[in-house]
Amino acid sequence: MAMPGKRFGLVAARKAAGLSQECLAERMGVERSTVQRWETGQCTPQPCHRPKLARVLGISDDKLAELLADHSCSDDQFQTTPALVTVPRCGDAGSGQQTGESDLLAFPPGGDRTDRRQALTLLGTSTLGLGAPHADLDPSTQSAVEAMEFTRRAEVSQLGPRTLEHLDCVVSDLAATVNHTPPGELFPKARWYRRQVEDLLAGQYTLREGRELYRHASSLGVILAWLSIDLGDLAAAEAHCLDAWEHGWQAEDHAICAWSMCAKTTIATYNNRPVAARDAAECGLKHAPPGSAAAAGVSVKLARAYARLGQADQFQDVLKDTQIRFNQLSHPGSGLFSASSGMLASYMADSYVWLGQPYRAIPYAEETISFCRDRGLSEREPTREALARLNLAQAHVDLGQPDDAAEHIAQALSSERITGVVLRRLGDLTVFMQHKYPQLGITKELADRHREMTASLSQG
C-alpha cells in the first residue's frame, strides 16, 4: 500500500531557518497542524502560500518546489526506517513544544548508494544557515559543510557578551561585603541573583558559558548559606550548602566545593553535631586544591571539629598541618573566600575553649580582636570580633573571674552585627554561667538579654 512520504527536506529547511513548527505557522498565518501536514506529505501548500514560505525559509522558489515534490514510500519502508535522529532547534528555547515525529530528521535505510546520497543531501540541507550545498556536491564537501554547522551550533548562546562579567562583579561584591553588612540586607540581593542564574541555566549557552554559570550558582549558594547561618536558619543554610556543592561539582570547581563544606562544618558545629562537622571538613579538605585558601580554611575547621569532639591529640595533629597550610599560602583569597591569620586565631580560641584550656584560649582571642580592629572599613569582621570577646568571657568564667567575663560579654553584645552564631555562643555561655554562678545578677541579665535578642533575630 502506498502512502504519502514525509518531506524530510522541508523539515530540514525549517530547522535550518531556526524555526519550530509553531513559529513557522505563526509566520505563515496558518495553524501548526497545517505545517505538520505539509511536512508529512498529507497536503501541499496552496500556490498563494508558496512565495512567502520560500522567503521565510530563506530558499528559492525552485528549491521549495523541489522540496514539495511528492515522494511516496511503502509500508515496509516505513517499518524498516532506522531510529530517528533529533536535530536541535535553534532560537526556539522555552517554546514548550514537545518534540514529536514531525520535528525529527530521519536518515533513509543504508545499503544502497542512492540512499546514502539522499541521506547526505538531507543532512546538507540542514545547514542552510551557512549556505545549503547542492545534491551533486561530493561527500567530502558535504562533510566540511557539516563541520561548519556543528561549529556554529556549538557557539549558539542566549547570553549577552557582558552577562558573565556582570555576575563576576556581583559575586565578588557580595563576598567582599558579607562579613560586615547586616545579613538581612544582603540576603534578598543574593537570592535574587541566584534565581537569575537559574533562569540563565534554563536557556541556551555554550559549554564554557555553562560551566561559568554553574560556578556562579555555586558561589551564590555558599554566600546564601553563610547569610542563612547569620540569620539563625541552619536548615536553610544546609540546603544552600548542598546546592552549592552540586553546582560546584558540575562546574568541576573543587575550591568552591571545599568552601561549601567549610560552611557545612560551621552549621554542624553549631547544631551540636560535631561528628558531622568533622566529616564535612574532611570531605572539603579532600577536594580542596593544594595550597589554596579553601584548603587552609577547611583545615582549620577540621581542627576545630576535633576540639569540639574533645579529641585533643587529633586536634594537635591537624593543627600542625593547618599552620603549615597558612604559612605556605601564596594568595589568601578575598572576602568570604579567604583564609587569614584572624581566621586561624579565632578558631584556635574556639578550640581551646572547648578543650577546657582557658589560658591557651585567651591569647588567641586577643589576637583575633587586634586583627579585626586593624582592618579597614571594607574588610571589617564585627561578628568574628564579637565571637572572640565571647571566647574571652568563657575563658574568664572557667578561671573563676565572672566580673571580667561580664565586661567582655557587654562588649560582644554591643557589636553592630549580632548574628545567629553569636547568639548560639551566647546561649552556651548563658547555660554555663547558670550552672556555675546561678546567684549572680549578671547571670539572670544575660539570660534575659539572650531571649530578647534571639526573638529579635527571628522576627527580623
The DSSP-derived string for 315-361 is: HHHHHHHHHHHHHT-S--EETTEE--HHHHHHHHHHHHHHTT-HHHH
The enclosing domain of 28 has a CATH number of 1.10.260.40
- Asked, for residue 56, whether it belongs to a domain, the answer is yes
Are 374 and 343 in the same domain? yes
The enclosing domain of 181 has a CATH number of 1.25.40.10
Cα(141)–Cα(117) distance, integer angstroms = 13
Are 127 and 231 in the same domain? no
pLDDT tens column, 320-333: 999 999 998 888 88
pLDDT of residue 48: 76
Are 173 and 138 in the same domain? no
Decide if pLDDT at 89 tops 60: no
pLDDT tens column, 163-215: 899 999 999 999 999 998 999 999 999 999 999 999 999 888 898 999 999 99
What number is the average pLDDT over the span 425-439?
A: 88
What the block records as the C-alpha cell of 345 is 586565631
- Asked, for residue 99, whether it belongs to a domain, the answer is no
Cα(423)–Cα(157) distance, integer angstroms = 47
- Give the count of domains, the chain: 2
Decide if pLDDT at 38 tops 50: yes
What the block records as the C-alpha cell of 29 is 498565518
- Asked, for residue 105, whether it belongs to a domain, the answer is no
Global pTM value: 0.68
Are 258 and 300 in the same domain? yes
Are 188 and 150 in the same domain? no
Mind giving me the DSSP string for 30-96?
S-HHHHHHHHHTS----TTTHHHHHHHHT--HHHHHHHHS---EEHHHHHH----EE---SS-TT--
Percent of the chain with pLDDT over 90: 47
Are 125 and 208 in the same domain? no
pLDDT tens column, 382-393: 999 999 999 999
- Asked, for residue 101, whether it belongs to a domain, the answer is no
Are 171 and 126 in the same domain? no
Are 150 and 174 in the same domain? no
Q: Which residues pair with 73 in a beta bridge?
A: 3
- Asked, for residue 121, whether it belongs to a domain, the answer is yes
pLDDT tens column, 337-358: 999 999 999 999 999 999 999 9
- Asked, for residue 106, whether it belongs to a domain, the answer is no
Cα(110)–Cα(425) distance, integer angstroms = 73
Are 267 and 140 in the same domain? no
Domain span at residue 20 reads: 2-94+111-155
What the block records as the C-alpha cell of 447 is 539570660
Are 233 and 318 in the same domain? yes
Are 134 and 181 in the same domain? no
pLDDT of residue 135: 55
pLDDT tens column, 73-87: 433 333 333 333 333
- Asked, for residue 35, whether it belongs to a domain, the answer is yes
Cα(457)–Cα(448) distance, integer angstroms = 14
Mean pLDDT of the chain: 82
Q: Strand 104-105 and strand 333-334: pairing?
A: unpaired
pLDDT of residue 5: 65
pLDDT of residue 54: 87
Cα(263)–Cα(277) distance, integer angstroms = 10
- Asked, for residue 451, whether it belongs to a domain, the answer is yes
